[in-house]
Protein backbone atom coordinates (compact mmCIF):
# COMPACT_ATOMS: atom_id res chain seq x y z
CA UNK A 1 0.00 0.00 0.00
CA UNK A 2 1.31 3.50 -0.82
CA UNK A 3 1.68 5.92 2.07
CA UNK A 4 -1.30 8.13 2.87
CA UNK A 5 -1.10 11.81 1.96
CA UNK A 6 -1.25 12.82 5.60
CA UNK A 7 1.21 10.29 6.97
CA UNK A 8 4.59 11.59 8.10
CA UNK A 9 7.87 11.12 6.22
CA UNK A 10 11.11 10.42 8.08
CA UNK A 11 14.15 11.56 6.12
CA UNK A 12 17.56 9.82 6.16
CA UNK A 13 18.87 12.36 8.69
CA UNK A 14 16.03 11.47 11.08
CA UNK A 15 14.00 14.67 10.71
CA UNK A 16 10.27 14.22 10.20
CA UNK A 17 8.02 16.02 7.71
CA UNK A 18 4.47 16.01 9.14
CA UNK A 19 2.74 14.96 5.90
CA UNK A 20 3.45 14.14 2.26
CA UNK A 21 2.42 17.53 0.80
CA UNK A 22 5.03 20.20 0.12
CA UNK A 23 4.77 23.77 -1.07
CA UNK A 24 7.32 23.63 -3.88
CA UNK A 25 9.53 26.60 -4.63
CA UNK A 26 7.98 29.49 -6.52
CA UNK A 27 10.18 32.46 -7.34
CA UNK A 28 8.38 35.19 -5.44
CA UNK A 29 10.37 38.22 -6.74
CA UNK A 30 9.32 40.00 -3.55
CA UNK A 31 12.60 41.07 -1.93
CA UNK A 32 12.45 44.25 0.09
CA UNK A 33 15.19 46.84 0.62
CA UNK A 34 18.69 45.42 0.63
CA UNK A 35 17.49 42.32 -1.30
CA UNK A 36 16.12 41.00 2.00
CA UNK A 37 12.88 39.26 2.97
CA UNK A 38 10.45 41.73 4.49
CA UNK A 39 6.98 41.64 6.05
CA UNK A 40 5.27 40.70 2.77
CA UNK A 41 7.29 37.50 2.49
CA UNK A 42 6.81 36.81 6.19
CA UNK A 43 3.03 37.21 5.79
CA UNK A 44 2.96 35.01 2.69
CA UNK A 45 4.78 32.14 4.41
CA UNK A 46 2.76 32.50 7.59
CA UNK A 47 -0.32 32.08 5.41
CA UNK A 48 1.09 28.98 3.69
CA UNK A 49 2.06 27.43 7.01
CA UNK A 50 -1.56 27.75 8.18
CA UNK A 51 -2.69 25.97 5.01
CA UNK A 52 -1.56 22.51 6.07
CA UNK A 53 1.42 21.57 3.87
CA UNK A 54 4.02 19.59 5.81
CA UNK A 55 6.96 21.29 4.11
CA UNK A 56 7.45 24.77 2.68
CA UNK A 57 10.35 25.36 0.28
CA UNK A 58 11.17 29.00 -0.39
CA UNK A 59 11.69 30.47 -3.82
CA UNK A 60 15.21 31.17 -5.05
CA UNK A 61 17.55 32.66 -2.47
CA UNK A 62 20.64 33.74 -4.34
CA UNK A 63 24.13 32.82 -3.13
CA UNK A 64 25.91 35.52 -5.19
CA UNK A 65 24.84 39.15 -4.90
CA UNK A 66 26.05 39.87 -8.45
CA UNK A 67 24.07 37.01 -10.02
CA UNK A 68 20.30 37.20 -9.62
CA UNK A 69 17.51 35.61 -11.64
CA UNK A 70 15.68 38.94 -11.36
CA UNK A 71 16.10 42.33 -9.68
CA UNK A 72 13.68 41.55 -6.82
CA UNK A 73 15.51 38.40 -5.74
CA UNK A 74 16.49 37.67 -2.14
CA UNK A 75 20.22 37.41 -1.38
CA UNK A 76 21.79 35.59 1.58
CA UNK A 77 25.57 35.75 1.66
CA UNK A 78 28.33 36.48 4.15
CA UNK A 79 27.34 40.17 4.33
CA UNK A 80 23.57 39.77 4.76
CA UNK A 81 21.97 40.54 8.14
CA UNK A 82 20.30 37.47 9.60
CA UNK A 83 17.37 39.06 11.43
CA UNK A 84 15.01 39.22 8.41
CA UNK A 85 15.76 35.56 7.66
CA UNK A 86 15.14 34.57 11.27
CA UNK A 87 11.72 36.23 11.06
CA UNK A 88 11.05 34.48 7.73
CA UNK A 89 11.84 31.05 9.19
CA UNK A 90 9.65 31.70 12.25
CA UNK A 91 6.73 32.78 10.09
CA UNK A 92 7.06 29.74 7.83
CA UNK A 93 7.11 27.33 10.79
CA UNK A 94 4.32 29.06 12.71
CA UNK A 95 1.65 26.58 11.54
CA UNK A 96 3.69 23.44 12.21
CA UNK A 97 5.40 22.93 8.86
CA UNK A 98 9.09 22.49 8.17
CA UNK A 99 10.76 25.16 6.02
CA UNK A 100 13.69 24.71 3.67
CA UNK A 101 15.51 27.48 1.84
CA UNK A 102 16.06 26.90 -1.85
CA UNK A 103 19.53 28.23 -2.74
CA UNK A 104 20.57 28.99 -6.27
CA UNK A 105 22.87 30.65 -8.79
CA UNK A 106 21.37 31.58 -12.17
CA UNK A 107 24.49 31.12 -14.25
CA UNK A 108 23.72 32.21 -17.82
CA UNK A 109 19.95 32.58 -17.23
CA UNK A 110 20.31 36.29 -16.49
CA UNK A 111 18.56 39.13 -18.30
CA UNK A 112 20.77 41.41 -20.40
CA UNK A 113 19.74 44.53 -18.45
CA UNK A 114 20.89 43.12 -15.11
CA UNK A 115 24.14 44.37 -13.57
CA UNK A 116 26.64 41.84 -12.28
CA UNK A 117 27.82 38.65 -13.94
CA UNK A 118 26.45 36.06 -16.35
CA UNK A 119 28.52 32.93 -15.81
CA UNK A 120 28.22 29.56 -17.48
CA UNK A 121 30.29 26.39 -17.77
CA UNK A 122 30.79 27.39 -21.42
CA UNK A 123 30.12 30.65 -23.26
CA UNK A 124 26.91 29.43 -24.91
CA UNK A 125 23.97 31.83 -24.83
CA UNK A 126 20.41 30.85 -23.94
CA UNK A 127 18.40 30.33 -27.13
CA UNK A 128 14.75 31.30 -26.76
CA UNK A 129 14.20 32.36 -30.34
CA UNK A 130 13.08 35.95 -30.85
CA UNK A 131 13.45 36.68 -27.14
CA UNK A 132 17.12 35.65 -27.01
CA UNK A 133 18.34 39.24 -27.21
CA UNK A 134 16.82 39.85 -23.79
CA UNK A 135 19.27 37.36 -22.21
CA UNK A 136 22.85 38.23 -21.25
CA UNK A 137 25.93 37.06 -23.13
CA UNK A 138 27.55 34.51 -20.77
CA UNK A 139 31.24 34.05 -20.08
CA UNK A 140 32.93 30.75 -19.31
CA UNK A 141 33.75 30.35 -15.64
CA UNK A 142 37.33 30.03 -14.49
CA UNK A 143 38.35 27.28 -12.05
CA UNK A 144 38.68 29.95 -9.36
CA UNK A 145 35.13 31.15 -9.98
CA UNK A 146 33.83 27.59 -9.80
CA UNK A 147 35.56 26.99 -6.47
CA UNK A 148 34.31 30.33 -5.11
CA UNK A 149 30.77 29.34 -6.12
CA UNK A 150 31.04 26.13 -4.11
CA UNK A 151 32.05 28.21 -1.09
CA UNK A 152 29.15 30.62 -1.65
CA UNK A 153 26.60 27.80 -1.58
CA UNK A 154 28.11 26.43 1.62
CA UNK A 155 28.10 29.87 3.29
CA UNK A 156 24.46 30.49 2.39
CA UNK A 157 23.48 27.08 3.78
CA UNK A 158 25.45 27.74 6.98
CA UNK A 159 23.64 31.02 7.50
CA UNK A 160 20.24 29.52 6.66
CA UNK A 161 20.78 27.07 9.52
CA UNK A 162 21.78 29.92 11.85
CA UNK A 163 18.58 31.75 10.89
CA UNK A 164 16.41 28.79 11.93
CA UNK A 165 15.57 27.08 8.65
CA UNK A 166 15.20 23.28 8.80
CA UNK A 167 17.15 22.62 5.62
CA UNK A 168 18.24 23.82 2.21
CA UNK A 169 17.39 22.69 -1.28
CA UNK A 170 20.21 23.09 -3.82
CA UNK A 171 18.67 24.13 -7.16
CA UNK A 172 20.26 22.00 -9.89
CA UNK A 173 17.29 22.09 -12.30
CA UNK A 174 15.44 24.43 -14.69
CA UNK A 175 18.54 25.47 -16.61
CA UNK A 176 20.21 27.39 -13.77
CA UNK A 177 23.96 27.19 -13.18
CA UNK A 178 24.25 23.68 -11.72
CA UNK A 179 21.82 22.36 -14.34
CA UNK A 180 24.00 24.03 -16.99
CA UNK A 181 27.01 22.09 -15.75
CA UNK A 182 25.01 18.85 -15.93
CA UNK A 183 23.84 19.50 -19.49
CA UNK A 184 26.04 18.21 -22.34
CA UNK A 185 24.42 20.87 -24.55
CA UNK A 186 25.69 23.75 -22.40
CA UNK A 187 28.80 22.27 -20.78
CA UNK A 188 31.47 21.89 -23.45
CA UNK A 189 34.41 22.11 -21.05
CA UNK A 190 37.43 19.88 -21.53
CA UNK A 191 38.78 20.20 -17.97
CA UNK A 192 37.71 18.29 -14.85
CA UNK A 193 34.26 19.95 -14.87
CA UNK A 194 33.36 18.78 -18.38
CA UNK A 195 33.06 15.71 -20.57
CA UNK A 196 31.77 12.72 -18.61
CA UNK A 197 28.65 12.92 -16.46
CA UNK A 198 30.83 12.42 -13.38
CA UNK A 199 32.83 15.50 -14.33
CA UNK A 200 29.75 17.54 -15.24
CA UNK A 201 28.26 16.68 -11.83
CA UNK A 202 31.47 17.61 -9.99
CA UNK A 203 30.40 21.12 -8.93
CA UNK A 204 27.06 19.84 -7.58
CA UNK A 205 28.73 17.02 -5.66
CA UNK A 206 31.36 19.40 -4.26
CA UNK A 207 28.61 21.78 -3.11
CA UNK A 208 26.77 18.96 -1.32
CA UNK A 209 30.00 17.89 0.39
CA UNK A 210 30.83 21.45 1.41
CA UNK A 211 27.37 22.04 2.86
CA UNK A 212 27.28 18.71 4.70
CA UNK A 213 30.67 19.56 6.24
CA UNK A 214 29.24 22.88 7.45
CA UNK A 215 25.75 22.12 8.82
CA UNK A 216 24.44 19.78 11.49
CA UNK A 217 23.35 16.25 10.63
CA UNK A 218 19.79 17.18 11.63
CA UNK A 219 19.73 19.96 9.02
CA UNK A 220 18.19 18.62 5.81
CA UNK A 221 20.09 18.86 2.51
CA UNK A 222 17.98 18.33 -0.62
CA UNK A 223 18.68 18.68 -4.34
CA UNK A 224 16.28 19.80 -7.05
CA UNK A 225 17.12 17.91 -10.22
CA UNK A 226 15.65 17.75 -13.70
CA UNK A 227 14.18 14.37 -14.53
CA UNK A 228 15.01 15.51 -18.07
CA UNK A 229 15.81 18.75 -19.91
CA UNK A 230 13.41 17.88 -22.77
CA UNK A 231 16.01 18.87 -25.37
CA UNK A 232 17.43 16.45 -27.91
CA UNK A 233 20.86 15.33 -26.74
CA UNK A 234 20.45 16.95 -23.32
CA UNK A 235 20.34 15.70 -19.75
CA UNK A 236 17.87 12.78 -19.61
CA UNK A 237 16.27 10.35 -17.18
CA UNK A 238 19.19 7.93 -17.27
CA UNK A 239 21.53 10.81 -16.39
CA UNK A 240 19.18 11.81 -13.55
CA UNK A 241 19.24 8.27 -12.17
CA UNK A 242 23.03 8.22 -12.27
CA UNK A 243 23.31 11.59 -10.49
CA UNK A 244 20.90 10.44 -7.76
CA UNK A 245 23.19 7.49 -7.09
CA UNK A 246 26.19 9.85 -6.95
CA UNK A 247 24.34 11.92 -4.35
CA UNK A 248 23.30 8.96 -2.20
CA UNK A 249 26.52 8.52 -0.17
CA UNK A 250 26.97 12.28 0.39
CA UNK A 251 24.25 12.79 3.00
CA UNK A 252 21.45 14.06 0.75
CA UNK A 253 18.02 13.65 2.35
CA UNK A 254 15.72 14.10 -0.64
CA UNK A 255 15.78 14.72 -4.39
CA UNK A 256 13.01 16.80 -5.94
CA UNK A 257 12.28 15.95 -9.58
CA UNK A 258 11.19 18.56 -12.07
CA UNK A 259 12.15 19.33 -15.65
CA UNK A 260 12.87 21.90 -18.34
CA UNK A 261 14.66 25.25 -18.60
CA UNK A 262 14.16 28.68 -20.16
CA UNK A 263 14.79 27.03 -23.53
CA UNK A 264 12.24 24.27 -22.97
CA UNK A 265 9.89 25.39 -20.17
CA UNK A 266 8.43 21.99 -19.33
CA UNK A 267 8.01 23.10 -15.70
CA UNK A 268 5.19 25.30 -17.04
CA UNK A 269 3.54 22.37 -18.79
CA UNK A 270 4.61 23.63 -22.21
CA UNK A 271 7.28 21.15 -23.26
CA UNK A 272 7.30 19.80 -26.77
CA UNK A 273 7.53 16.30 -25.30
CA UNK A 274 4.03 14.86 -25.63
CA UNK A 275 4.39 12.92 -22.36
CA UNK A 276 4.12 16.21 -20.47
CA UNK A 277 1.09 17.57 -22.33
CA UNK A 278 -2.47 17.49 -21.00
CA UNK A 279 -1.18 16.04 -17.73
CA UNK A 280 -1.40 17.29 -14.19
CA UNK A 281 1.74 15.56 -12.96
CA UNK A 282 3.96 16.65 -15.83
CA UNK A 283 6.89 14.40 -14.96
CA UNK A 284 5.16 11.42 -13.36
CA UNK A 285 6.24 8.84 -15.96
CA UNK A 286 9.90 9.76 -15.53
CA UNK A 287 9.57 9.99 -11.76
CA UNK A 288 8.07 6.49 -11.53
CA UNK A 289 10.96 5.20 -13.62
CA UNK A 290 13.50 6.85 -11.31
CA UNK A 291 11.65 5.78 -8.15
CA UNK A 292 12.16 2.11 -9.09
CA UNK A 293 15.93 2.48 -8.71
CA UNK A 294 16.39 5.46 -6.37
CA UNK A 295 17.80 4.78 -2.92
CA UNK A 296 16.88 8.32 -1.82
CA UNK A 297 13.44 9.75 -1.04
CA UNK A 298 11.96 11.54 -4.06
CA UNK A 299 9.62 14.49 -4.41
CA UNK A 300 7.70 15.24 -7.61
CA UNK A 301 6.58 18.72 -8.61
CA UNK A 302 4.71 19.91 -11.67
CA UNK A 303 1.06 20.79 -12.21
CA UNK A 304 -0.66 18.76 -9.47
CA UNK A 305 -4.01 20.30 -8.46
CA UNK A 306 -6.24 17.34 -7.46
CA UNK A 307 -6.00 14.93 -4.52
CA UNK A 308 -6.48 11.75 -6.64
CA UNK A 309 -3.49 12.79 -8.78
CA UNK A 310 -1.41 13.44 -5.64
CA UNK A 311 -2.32 9.94 -4.45
CA UNK A 312 -1.30 8.53 -7.85
CA UNK A 313 2.11 10.17 -7.37
CA UNK A 314 2.60 8.39 -4.03
CA UNK A 315 1.34 5.13 -5.54
CA UNK A 316 4.07 5.45 -8.18
CA UNK A 317 6.78 5.22 -5.53
CA UNK A 318 7.38 8.94 -4.97
CA UNK A 319 7.60 9.99 -1.32
CA UNK A 320 6.54 13.64 -1.35
CA UNK A 321 4.10 15.60 -3.53
CA UNK A 322 5.19 19.11 -4.46
CA UNK A 323 2.70 21.80 -5.45
CA UNK A 324 3.50 25.35 -6.46
CA UNK A 325 0.84 27.07 -8.54
CA UNK A 326 -1.99 25.21 -6.78
CA UNK A 327 -0.96 26.64 -3.40
CA UNK A 328 -0.41 30.09 -4.87
CA UNK A 329 -4.08 30.05 -5.90
CA UNK A 330 -5.43 28.29 -2.80
CA UNK A 331 -3.04 28.13 0.18
CA UNK A 332 -5.62 26.09 2.12
CA UNK A 333 -5.74 23.22 -0.38
CA UNK A 334 -3.87 20.71 1.86
CA UNK A 335 -6.31 21.32 4.72
CA UNK A 336 -9.26 20.99 2.33
CA UNK A 337 -7.91 17.65 1.10
CA UNK A 338 -8.09 16.30 4.64
CA UNK A 339 -11.87 16.39 4.31
CA UNK A 340 -12.60 16.19 0.58
CA UNK A 341 -11.40 14.56 -2.62
CA UNK A 342 -13.18 17.22 -4.66
CA UNK A 343 -11.26 20.40 -3.77
CA UNK A 344 -9.13 21.62 -6.65
CA UNK A 345 -7.91 24.80 -8.34
CA UNK A 346 -8.15 25.85 -11.96
CA UNK A 347 -6.23 28.37 -14.04
CA UNK A 348 -7.18 29.30 -17.59
CA UNK A 349 -4.40 28.21 -19.98
CA UNK A 350 -2.11 30.96 -21.29
CA UNK A 351 -2.83 31.24 -25.01
CA UNK A 352 0.32 32.89 -26.35
CA UNK A 353 2.17 31.20 -29.22
CA UNK A 354 5.64 32.35 -28.18
CA UNK A 355 6.68 29.76 -25.57
CA UNK A 356 9.03 32.07 -23.68
CA UNK A 357 6.43 34.85 -23.43
CA UNK A 358 3.70 32.39 -22.48
CA UNK A 359 5.84 31.01 -19.68
CA UNK A 360 6.71 34.51 -18.41
CA UNK A 361 3.07 35.67 -18.50
CA UNK A 362 1.94 32.53 -16.68
CA UNK A 363 4.54 33.04 -13.96
CA UNK A 364 3.56 36.71 -13.65
CA UNK A 365 -0.04 35.67 -13.03
CA UNK A 366 1.09 33.28 -10.29
CA UNK A 367 3.34 35.89 -8.67
CA UNK A 368 0.43 38.33 -8.59
CA UNK A 369 -1.36 35.82 -6.34
CA UNK A 370 1.70 35.68 -4.06
CA UNK A 371 1.76 39.44 -3.68
CA UNK A 372 -1.93 39.48 -2.84
CA UNK A 373 -1.40 36.84 -0.15
CA UNK A 374 1.64 38.76 1.13
CA UNK A 375 -0.53 41.80 1.76
CA UNK A 376 -3.26 39.82 3.50
CA UNK A 377 -5.67 39.72 0.55
CA UNK A 378 -7.38 36.77 -1.09
CA UNK A 379 -6.13 35.47 -4.43
CA UNK A 380 -7.61 36.46 -7.79
CA UNK A 381 -6.64 33.75 -10.30
CA UNK A 382 -8.96 35.16 -12.98
CA UNK A 383 -6.54 38.04 -13.67
CA UNK A 384 -5.51 38.06 -17.33
CA UNK A 385 -1.91 36.82 -17.68
CA UNK A 386 -1.00 39.61 -20.13
CA UNK A 387 -2.21 42.23 -17.65
CA UNK A 388 -0.30 40.51 -14.85
CA UNK A 389 2.81 40.46 -17.06
CA UNK A 390 2.48 44.19 -17.80
CA UNK A 391 2.14 45.04 -14.10
CA UNK A 392 5.08 42.81 -13.20
CA UNK A 393 7.23 44.40 -15.91
CA UNK A 394 6.61 47.83 -14.36
CA UNK A 395 7.49 46.50 -10.90
CA UNK A 396 10.66 44.91 -12.25
CA UNK A 397 11.79 48.20 -13.78
CA UNK A 398 11.49 49.84 -10.37
CA UNK A 399 13.19 46.88 -8.70
CA UNK A 400 16.03 47.01 -11.23
CA UNK A 401 16.80 50.65 -10.35
CA UNK A 402 16.80 49.78 -6.66
CA UNK A 403 18.99 46.70 -7.20
CA UNK A 404 21.52 48.68 -9.30
CA UNK A 405 21.83 51.30 -6.56
CA UNK A 406 22.11 48.66 -3.84
CA UNK A 407 24.79 46.72 -5.72
CA UNK A 408 26.76 49.90 -6.45
CA UNK A 409 26.60 50.93 -2.79
CA UNK A 410 27.54 47.46 -1.63
CA UNK A 411 30.51 47.30 -3.98
CA UNK A 412 31.73 50.63 -2.62
CA UNK A 413 31.05 49.44 0.95
CA UNK A 414 28.98 52.43 2.01
CA UNK A 415 28.12 52.47 5.70
CA UNK A 416 24.36 52.88 5.15
CA UNK A 417 24.07 49.61 3.22
CA UNK A 418 21.61 47.42 5.24
CA UNK A 419 23.49 44.30 4.17
CA UNK A 420 26.62 45.49 5.98
CA UNK A 421 25.21 46.07 9.43
CA UNK A 422 27.81 45.15 12.08
CA UNK A 423 27.59 42.08 14.24
CA UNK A 424 24.56 40.67 12.38
CA UNK A 425 25.73 37.10 12.83
CA UNK A 426 26.90 37.51 16.41
CA UNK A 427 23.30 38.36 17.39
CA UNK A 428 22.20 34.86 16.35
CA UNK A 429 24.98 32.57 17.49
Compute mean pLDDT per 10 residues along the chain, 429 residues long, and list them. 90 97 97 98 98 98 97 98 98 98 97 96 91 93 98 98 98 95 96 98 98 98 84 80 96 89 51 41 76 91 90 94 96 96 89 84 95 97 94 96 96 51 33
Structure confidence at residue 347 (pLDDT): 84
d(CA 331, CA 323): 10
pLDDT at 427: 29
Q: Distance between CA 363 and CA 353 in Å, rounded?
A: 16
pLDDT at 261: 63
Burial tier of 398 (Cβ tally within 10 Å: 0-12, 13-18, 19+): exposed
Buried b / exposed e over 51-61, threshold 16 CB at 10 Å, is: bbbbbbbbbbb
In three-state form (DSSP H/G/I as H, E/B as E, the rest C), the secondary structure along the chain is: CCCCCCCCEECCCCCEECCCEEECCCCCCCCEHHHECCHHHHHHHHHHHHCCCCEEECCCEECCCCCCCCCCCEECCCCCCCHHHHHHHHHHHCCCCEEEEEEECCCCCCECCCCCCCEECCCCCCCCHHHHHHECCCEECCHHHHHHHHHHHHHHHHHHHHHCCCEEEEEECCCCHHHHHHCCCCCCCCCCCCCCHHHHCHHHHHHHHHHHCCCCCCCEEEEEEEEECCCCCCCCHHHHHHHHHHHHHHCCCEEEEEECCCCCCHHHCCCCCHHHCCCCCCCHHHHHHHHCCCCCCEEEECCCCCHHHHHHHHHCCCCEEEECHHHHHCCCHHHHHCCCCCCCCCCCCCCCCCHHHHHHHHHHHHHHHHHHHHCCCCCCCCCCHHHHHHHHHHHHHHHHHHHHHHHHHHHHCCCCCHHHCCCCCHHHC
CB 72 within 8 A of CB 370: no
Amino acid 419: pLDDT: 34
Q: What is the pLDDT of residues 99-133, one digit of tens each?
A: 999 999 999 999 999 999 999 999 999 988 888 89
CA distance 47 to 373: 7
Q: Which CATH number describes the domain made up of 9-347? A: 3.20.20.70
What confidence score (pLDDT) does residue 3 get?
A: 82
Per-residue pLDDT at 290: 87
What's the pLDDT score for residue 346?
87
pTM of structure: 0.91
**Tell me, what's the pLDDT at 263?**
60
Cα 386 from Cα 129, distance rounded (Å): 20
Residue (of 272, 260, 346) closest to 302 by Cα position? 260
Q: How far is CA 239 from CA 35, 244, 246, 252, 286, in A?
A: 35, 9, 11, 17, 12
How much is the pLDDT for 100?
98
Rounded to whole angstroms, the Cα distance separating 396 from 185 reads 30
Model confidence pLDDT, tens digit, residues 376-392: 999 999 999 999 999 99
Amino acid sequence: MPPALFSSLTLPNGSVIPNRLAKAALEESMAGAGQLPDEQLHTLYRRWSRGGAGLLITGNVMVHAEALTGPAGVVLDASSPLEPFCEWALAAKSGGSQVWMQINHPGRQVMANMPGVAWSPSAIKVDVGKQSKRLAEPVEMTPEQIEATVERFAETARRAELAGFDGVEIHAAHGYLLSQFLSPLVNKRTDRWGGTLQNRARILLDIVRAIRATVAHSFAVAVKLNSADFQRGGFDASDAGAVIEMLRPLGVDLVELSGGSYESPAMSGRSADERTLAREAYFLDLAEELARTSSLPLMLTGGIVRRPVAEDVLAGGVDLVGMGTALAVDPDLPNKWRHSDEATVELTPVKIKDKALASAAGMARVREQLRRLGTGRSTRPSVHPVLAFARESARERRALRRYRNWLNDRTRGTSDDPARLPDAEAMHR
